[in-house]
């Protein structure tokens, strides 16, 4: 369990060096994207259109923040991660086609994303769900916002962050998946738990 500090743009080498269970802090640019932004990004790619933000080497944050307009400037009030599993059908293509190296979210993702991470050299890091105030504190500035027509939670927020973490590497580029390990262990405990509650098949 190493503790690492990374800076964007992230390289394949950076990502290959990460192992599940490592703790990571990221400095640089995060871009938020949820369901609708993923959908639109892939539509843009299909139509051969350029995205308003170049995501190459950046970290994508599964987050629908609360953002406030203060003196002509955007200020992030709260910005914890959202459930990543919802983006599973689109994330693999999103990573490989757009060159995203790090996904930050909560709850982990499925086999399609894991496969893309393995082949492309990307990783998934968990930020504590609900810890929205701490996350906002590590966001130093809003560099821009795109696709605000999708609504505040769904827009692409381009955020400048400093030592964003602690993030736990939960899926690495070597095929390790911490969530899958935990669920496997829970499954393994199932019979013992059934006995504890007096339920026997």
Partner 1 sequence: MGIEDTVERVAVNLLRLATTKLPKDVKEALQRAYREEESEIGKIQLETILKNVEQAEETGTPICQDTGTIVFYVKAGAKAKNLSEIAEALRSATKIATETVPLRPNAVNPFTQENTGDNTGRFIPFIHWEIVSGDSVEITAFPKGGGSENVCALGMLTPGQGVKRLKKFVVDAVIRAGAMPCPPTIVGVGVGGGSDIAMKLAKMALLRPLDQPNPDLELAKMEEELREAANMTGIGPMGLGGKSTVLGVNMEWAHRHPASYPVGVAFQCWAARRASARLYSNGTLEYLTHEVK
**CA 193, CA 119: separation in Å to the nearest integer?**
38
- Asked if residue 4 binds partner 1 (CB under 8 A), the reply is no
- Is 152 among the residues that bind partner 1 (CB under 8 A)? yes
Residues with Cβ within 8 Å of residue 15, at least 6 apart in sequence: 101, 102, 121, 122, 123, 173
Is 129 an interacting residue with respect to partner 1 (CB under 8 A)? yes
Task: Kindly state the number of chain residues that form the binding site for partner 1, as judged by CB under 8 A.
Answer: 52
Told to check if 110 binds partner 1 by CB under 8 A, we report no
Cα 68 from Cα 73, distance rounded (Å):
8
Instruction: Choose between 18 and 98: whose C-beta lies nearer to partner 1.
Output: 18
Q: Looking at 42-50, 52-60, 112-120, 146-154, which segment touches partner 1 (CB under 8 A)?
A: 146-154
Distance, CA of 189 to CA of 73 (rounded, Å): 51
Regarding 50 and contact with partner 1 (CB under 8 A), the answer is no
State in angstroms the smallest separation of the CB of 150 from partner 1. 9
Residue span 171-190 as binding mask against partner 1, x where in contact by CB under 8 A, dash where not: -------xx-xxx-xxx-xx
Residue 131 C-alpha from the chain's centroid: 14
> Nearer Cβ to partner 1, position 57 or 124?
124
Q: CB of 80: closest distance to partner 1 in angstroms? A: 5
Q: Binding residue for partner 1 (CB under 8 A) from 33, 63, 122, 139? A: 63
132 near partner 1 (CB under 8 A):
yes
Residue 73 near partner 1 by CB under 8 A = no
Burial of 195 (0-12, 13-18, 19+ CB in 10 A): exposed
Minimal distance, residue 9 CB to partner 1, in Å: 26
Q: Does 104 bind partner 1 (CB under 8 A)?
A: no
d(CA 186, CA 182): 6
What are 201's two structure tokens?
């098949």
Q: Nearest-CA neighbor of 57 among 141, 3, 120?
A: 120
Beta strands at 66-70 and 102-105: parallel, antiparallel or unpaired: unpaired
């Amino acid at each position: 369990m190493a503790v690492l500090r990374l800076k964007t743009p992230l390289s394949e080498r950076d990502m290959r060096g990460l192992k599940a269970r490592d703790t990571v802090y990221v400095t640089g640019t995060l871009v938020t994207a949820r369901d609708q932004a993923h959908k639109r990004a892939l539509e843009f790619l299909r139509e051969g259109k350029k995205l308003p933000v170049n995501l190459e080497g950046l970290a994508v944050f599964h987050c629908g923040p609360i953002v406030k307009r203060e003196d002509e400037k955007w200020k992030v009030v709260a910005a914890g991660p959202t459930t990543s599993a919802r983006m599973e059908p689109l994330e693999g293509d999103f990573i490989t086609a757009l060159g995203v190296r790090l996904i930050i979210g909560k709850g982990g993702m499925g086999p399609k994303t894991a496969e893309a991470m393995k082949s492309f050299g990307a990783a998934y890091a968990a930020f504590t769900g609900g810890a929205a105030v701490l996350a906002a504190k590590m966001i130093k500035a809003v560099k821009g916002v795109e696709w605000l027509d999708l609504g505040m939670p769904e827009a692409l927020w381009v955020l400048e962050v400093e030592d964003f973490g602690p993030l736990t590497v939960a899926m690495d580029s070597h095929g390790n998946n911490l969530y899958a390990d935990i669920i496997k262990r829970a499954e393994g405990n199932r019979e013992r738990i059934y006995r504890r509650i007096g339920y026997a098949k």
